[in-house]
Amino acid sequence: MTDCVLGVIGGSGIYDLPGLAGAEWVRVETPWGEPSDDLRIGHIDGLKVVFLPRHGRGHVHSPSDINYRANIDALKRCGVTDLVSVSACGSLKEELAPGTFVLVEQFIDRTFARPKSFFASGCVAHVSMAYPVSPRLVDHIEAAARAEGVTCRRGGTYLAMEGPQFSSLGESHLYRSWGCDVIGMTNMPEAKLAREAEICYATVAMVTDYDSWHPDHGEVDIQAILQVLRDNAHNAQRLVARLARDIPRRHEPCPVGSDRALDHALMTAPDKRDPALMARLAAITARVLSD
């Protein structure tokens, strides 16, 4: 087993985690371009923690313009083994009121304007996305939430929409008819790329609103969303800090194979692989090509 390195992708509310020692902003270069921002790296009780602001400090990147490949590659280069996405989302279920934290299990990807894979012609690979979330990592997040008294619900499906606009009423009703639980703009292709990079991934979806379907709440109110985000920030900080304190210091094998997703996934014969693409894939494929 390797050492556990905890990665966190989220917003400004959790930049300064309680107990984060020796934190520095570090610039990480990737062959996929610039990540959303520098990475904030420190330690909590001896555990290396790497934080990346998904939208950049000051929220400068639209969901469609985030360089998801650079973000995941940068986290991989920093040694991240377990990645927690802390994400604002809308609720598609009455019982998931604003302020609820949802530990998502599944995704439906409705995005269309974003590169979704590290692989392409010159090195074709197919990874399984049947179980996109690492259940063992979710176990640790759930335990941290209980320990901190943070109310969360485990399970549910996250509908990833393109954005940056919020849903129409018709779209909101459609997604509810599909049985989706929450809706957001950022967890795809992030989860797909994390799987290709063999990083265990989990989402803490923080409900901020009822999307546009709820008859008593009307259309999405950005000011109300911002207020809920501010209210949730403290709970998110405490949850992630507790997770960092309690998660095992040695990375545990993922029961659904997130950390070995590239086993048997590379389809292109070695002599047919594009050297330029393989150079870009160096961090992503390091384990499987060195075994």
157 is in an annotated binding site: no
Annotated active-site residue in 209, 221, 231, 263? 209
Range ranked top by mean pLDDT from 164-168, 222-226, 260-264: 260-264
185 is in an annotated binding site: yes
pLDDT grade for 290, boundaries at 50, 70 and 90: confident
151 is in an annotated binding site: no
87 is in an annotated binding site: yes
**Average pLDDT of the chain to the nearest whole number:** 93
Annotated active-site residue in 211, 263, 271, 274? 211
Annotation marks residue 274 as catalytic: no
Share of the chain above pLDDT 90, in %: 83
pLDDT at 222: 65
Tell me phi and psi for residue 190, to 5 degrees.
-50, -50
C-alpha to C-alpha distance for 93 and 180, rounded to whole angstroms: 8
| Torsion from C-alpha of 50, 166, 62, 97, nearest 10 degrees | -20
12 is in an annotated binding site: yes
Average pLDDT over residues 19-24: 92
201 is in an annotated binding site: no
The model's pTM is 0.95
15 is in an annotated binding site: no
Annotation marks residue 65 as catalytic: no
Which residues are CB-neighbours of 28 under 8 A, at least 6 positions away?
Answer: 35, 38, 39, 74, 77, 78
Q: DSSP string of the chain?
A: -PBPEEEEEE-GGGSS-TT-EEEEEE---BTTB--SS-EEEEEETTEEEEEEETTTTTT-S-TTT--HHHHHHHHHHTT--EEEEEEEEEE-STTS-TT-EEE--EEEE---SS---S-BTTB-B----SS-S-HHHHHHHHHHHHHHT--EEE--EEEE---SSPPPHHHHHHHHHTT--EEESSSTTHHHHHHHTT-EEEEEEEEEE-TTT-TTT-S--HHHHHHHHHHHHHHHHHHHHHHHHHS-SBPPPPTT-GGGTTTTTB-S-GGGS-HHHHHHTTTTSHHHHH-
CATH number for 85-290: choose from 3.40.350.10, 3.30.70.260, 3.40.50.1580, 3.40.630.10. Answer: 3.40.50.1580
Decide if pLDDT at 218 tops 60: no
C-alpha to C-alpha distance for 10 and 36, rounded to whole angstroms: 11
Domain coordinates of the chain in residue numbers?
85-290
Q: 75-108, pLDDT tens digit by residue? A: 999 999 999 999 989 999 999 998 899 999 999 9
Q: Which residues pair with 42 in a beta bridge?
A: 49
